[in-house]
Amino acid sequence: MATSALRPVTTEDGESAYVDPEDSTNGSRGPFVALYRDPERHVRYGWLCTNCGRSDTTMDTMGRVECRGCGNRRKPTSWDAGYL
């Protein structure tokens, strides 16, 4: 896998991560792009919110992503049948 598209960033925790702009998902206020711990994309770190530029995001068991900085949200990608 080519690593030329990755961009290094520093997370809110002071850790190094790599942004993959080709791996994104839509949010309510802007896309989320994938973050990896290594440039080879072996270890996933999380998501970067393109609306505010923060990596401080949460993801629940149904795939819902929310940015703690600006409230940007991605809808769940799966559903719990018990909820319906």
pLDDT band at 66 (very low <50, low <70, confident <90, very high): very high
The full set of domain ranges for the chain reads: 7-74
3-state secondary structure of 17: strand
Q: Return the beta strands (E) in the chain as ranges.
A: 7-10, 16-25, 32-36, 44-49, 57-59, 65-67, 73-74
pLDDT band at 82 (very low <50, low <70, confident <90, very high): low
pLDDT band at 80 (very low <50, low <70, confident <90, very high): low
What are the pLDDT digits (tens) for 38-59?
999 999 999 999 999 999 999 9
Give the tokens for residue 18.
């790599």
Q: What is the pTM of this model?
A: 0.83
Q: Give residue 64's pLDDT.
A: 94
